[in-house]
Structure 1
Amino acid sequence: MDLAYFWYEGARALMAPARIAADVTRYAVQNPANPLAYSPYARSIAAGCEMFERVTRRYGKPHFGLDSTVVDGVAVPVTERVVWERPFCRVVSFDRGFLRPPAEPQPKLLIVAPMSGHYATLLRGTVEAMLPNHQVYITDWSDARMVPITAGSFDLDTYIDYLEAMFEDLGPDLHVMAVCQPAVPVIAAVAVMEARRAHPVPVSMTLMGGPIDTRPSPTAVNCLAQERGQAWFERNTIAYVPPTFPGAWRRVYPGFLQLSGFMAMNLDRHVTAHADMFDHLVTGDGDSAEKHREFYDEYLAVMDLTAEFYLQTVETVFVEHALPRGVMRHRGEPVDLAAIRTCAILAVEGEKDDISGVGQTLAALDLTPNLPDARKAYHLQEGVGHYGVFNGSRYRAVIAPRIAAFIRAMAAERREPAARAPHLRAVS
């Protein structure tokens, strides 16, 4: 498996002439000067060429493209600014250009994007929904193949170190949202900080579809990791980065392998979507075709993960269940969730989540016995799967407002320590 990346890149190079030929053919048959350009025959050829080019293309890192938002009924411009940076991550701030300050103070919210193969731009909709009422930051993780090997290693311990540094630099009065995979390192970082009474600890953390304890409602992903174990993943999924990239010879879990796993889980849906895309192109349904392009331009853009991070996560989270069993360690020190006494927790789950089953994120509330119940909340969103927990219509209409209300309540309690926030554990 070590040389799989070399074979993959070699195959891509061999396909390059065919991709160029497909592009040339498509432009030729779509040229307005071509008398056959508007015939069903020409549209079919052009559609086939576009589908071939898209299936064999390397998709680059997308842009957030969030140029404006609406605050208190007024449209304001949004600009991106890097406020924290290390070799494997940078934190991007979405700065809003106010003509006048908002009517009420707006909380600082750090969205910790998953390091699971996709870029942080997958959370574009997550950011967009929170922008009107929060100063939003997001972790923009680096593609491991683009990080020189001289930058050192990056494992789960390093991940937690990074989070602690972010919390300290962005605090005080910071709220954190962990989407899926980062739920474990985020709650671990908070526990470590609370155990040593470090300041500033985040005011609250929202854990969304995260694998805090993968034993309840195990999914196919959980079962595969449990059955195969770390050694199998190291033999079958780890490869060296080819010398054509800055991160040459770094051991990684390649993004194309992660993507193949994602696609295989719902292969029939992806095949149907691409068949429909071909039909849209042939019939001239430009709007539907553009929606397909937008979705798959994001979905097919993947990044590599460092081997040490990937393997340590598999072993710690999915095989050993170290965090819920109380045996997880960070830099040799125990990660004790009982140390969490001040940072409020909102657990959000999707009823149809096939990545993190129902109960896996909720476990965070039971594993923090010294956190007052008034600072714990739970939201189960009916009718949504994993993606719907942090994106889509129900996220915008129901989940995002629930998170915003929780953050406001916890922020108010922090400003007025004597006040008691209402118990927000609920099912919707």
Structure 2
Amino acid sequence: MFYQFYELGHAAMFPWRTAADAMRMTYANPLNPMSRTTFGRAMAASFELFERTTRRYGKPEFGIDEISINAQKVSVHEKIVWERPFCSLIHFERSMPANYRGKNPKILVVAPMSGHYATLLRGTVETLLPYADVYITDWTDARMVPLSDGFFDLDDFIDYIISMLHFMGADTHVMAVCQPSVPVLAAVAQMEKHNDGQVPRSMTLMGGPIDTRKNPTAVNELAENRPIEWFRDNVIMRVPWPQPGFMREVYPGFLQLSGFMSMNLDKHMIAQKDFFQHLVVNDGDSAEKHREFYDEYLAVMDLTAEFYLQTVERVFIQHALPKGEFMHRDELIDPSAIKRVALLTVEGENDDISGVGQTKAAHDICPNIPDDKRMHYMQPKVGHYGVFNGSRFRSEIAPRILDFMRTHNEAPKKPAPAAKPAAKRPTRSRKTAKSA
């Protein structure tokens, strides 16, 4: 019933939000003399802060309309090229300059399915686009998927990744950000195990929980200190009416968001106070940066209960992948089967979600990748978000990723099938030979 009460409270606040927004516009209107006074700006700031704190943030847009390539403006168009009930694959089509002769790597960016929308990686995509042909997974809010479309668990996630790689072809580089590092590695291992000709040319894992036993964070300890039944009893709820996914069991996005915010509550409180002060002193640039960040950060989606519970149990409690016990549809995942796919791991020195060493552990469980096809990089002075976004990502991490992909952009050699033993010629015994 908690989800229903949340929806009821949100609906009950609607008249107050509307009134607050109207009052904000009144005090901020240039025709109102009070808008030029400290009191008027403080009132407008108070009403805006109230409205933003109580609103529901919808799914943001990527909003990447153009990029610059070789000092030329190039238009970008989003196109859905692959679709399933729980995910769409978006291709950012670029209108390349007529004189452009470069060969860009084709990248499948696997966004985290962990409460936020794929648009959280807008900066990641925007940084890669001038140098790569980019596709990204756009996961669907589980409360928007009717029960008639079935369920979605960790096995389905792996199947989706394999299906996308088949769709995109063997010249693809896959890049997993945070949570999907585990299912992406599992998908590649399965493809290698079955000698699949569509394996990607490289695999980049960024800030992912490959082995959460290494430098466990508060998130890891929370999972380890409670049985899986605790999570089912306390965080799994049914989608309320009138949402399309009515009665589907989910882990609500607002619960996950509250957990993340509670980890750094003091920083978020200071950010709100600073936002208020920026509005009062009419610092429009700083206020707009605050709006842009929190419009993205506070937009959350629900996860299916089966996917969330399997991820918690198998990744954070059982540590199944590094122990060699990870199963995919009753078949054991064998990371040692990966031989043709180059591996790059990236970590942040101050990551408080995936501790240092957790992603690098992928190199330990994939021992058969040649040394010249593997690389690890730890970015100093960045946290979890800085691994895939921000100034250091643009200047230091992204160039390394792109260089690694260009280095391994040649098609991996498919292992030759084992030669059949030559048929033995029949031999005659000595006795037979003498009698002959």
**Aligned match of 2:98:** 100
Residue type at the aligned position of 2:89: V
**Aligned counterpart in structure 2 of residue 29 of structure 1, from 27, 30, 35:** 27
Aligned with residue 41 of structure 2, among 23, 36, 43:
43
How far off its partner does 1:188 sit? 0.1
Counterpart of 1:257 in structure 2 is 255
**Pairing 1:15–2:20 present:** no
Q: Output the CA distance in 1 between the equivalents of 2:246 and 2:43.
A: 39
Q: Deviations over 1:26-64 (max 9, x none)?
A: 122223333323222221111100000000000011111
- Counterpart-to-counterpart distance in 2, 1:96 and 1:326: 41
Deviation at 1:13, TM superposition (A): 1.1
Rounded Cα–Cα distance in structure 2 between residues aligned with 1:10 and 1:188: 41
Counting only pairs closer than 5 Å after superposition, residues 346-361 of structure 1 correspond to structure 2 as: 346-361=344-359
TM-superposed deviation, 1:191: 0.5
Name stretches of at least 5 consecutive residues in structure 2 with no aligned partner: 416-436
Instruction: Give the aligned partner of residue 326 of structure 1.
Output: 324
Structure 1 equivalent of residue 155 of structure 2: 157
Matches within 5 A, 1:42-191: 42-100=40-98, 102-191=100-189
Whole-angstrom CA distance in 1 between matches of 2:410 and 2:187: 24
Structure 2 distance, partners of 1:268, 1:402, is 34
1:403 aligns with 2:419: no
For the pair shown, which has the larger CA radius of gyration, 1 or 2?
A: 2
Aligned residues, how many? 415
Aligned partner of residue 228 in structure 1, secondary structure = coil
Q: Does 1:377 align with 2:375?
A: yes
Inter-partner Cα distance in structure 1 for 2:361 and 2:398? 21
**Which residue in 2 is equivalent to 1:290?**
288
Contact between 2:170 and 2:411, CA under 8 Å: does it hold in 1?
Answer: no
Superposed CA deviations along residues 328-374 of structure 1, whole A, max 9, x for unmatched, are: 10010000111111111100001111100111000101111111111
**Against the structure 1 CA distance between its residues 365 and 226, is the aligned structure 2 distance closer, same or farther, given a 3 Å change threshold?**
same
- Tell me how far apart the structure 2 counterparts of residues 172 and 100 of structure 1 sit (CA, whole Å): 26
Tell me which residue corresponds to 2:419.
none
1:187-229 Cα offsets, whole Å, 9 max, x none, are 0000011111122001101000000010111111001100012
Question: In 1, distance between residues paired with 2:342 and 2:158?
Answer: 19
Give the equivalent residue in structure 2 for 1:316. Answer: 314
How much has 1:300 moved relative to structure 2? 0.4
Partner of 1:343: 341
Tell me which residue corresponds to 2:241: 243
Q: TM-score, normalised by structure 1?
A: 0.95
For residue 101 of structure 1, report the CA deviation from its aligned partner: 5.6
- The equivalent of 2:426 in structure 1 is none
C-alpha offsets along residues 280-312 of structure 1, whole Å, 9 cap, x if unaligned?
111111111111001100000000000000000
Determine the C-alpha separation between the residues in 1 that align with 2:154 and 2:322: 16
Distance (Å, rounded) in 2 between the aligned partners of 1:388 and 1:35:
43
Q: Please, which moves more after superposition, 317-326 or 279-288?
A: 279-288
Distance between the aligned counterparts of 1:153 and 1:332, measured in 2? 18
Contact 2:211 2:321 (C-alpha < 8 Å) held by counterparts: yes
Contact 2:86 2:140 in 1 (8 A): yes
- Mapped to 2, the partners of 1:322 and 1:295 lie a distance apart of 35
Q: Separation in 2 of the partners of 1:169 and 1:258?
A: 32
SS of structure 1 residue aligned to 2:209: coil
Matches of 2:282 and 2:147 in 1, distance apart?
48
2:421 is aligned to none
How far apart are the structure 2 equivalents of 1:414 and 1:254?
41
Instruction: Write the distance in 2 (CA, Å) between the matches of 1:393 and 1:67.
Output: 21
> Partner of 1:122: helix, strand, or coil?
helix
Deviations 1:51-97 (A, max 9, x none): 00000000011111111112233221111111100000000000110
Alpha-carbon distance between aligned partners in 2 of 1:413 and 1:10, rounded to the nearest angstrom: 55
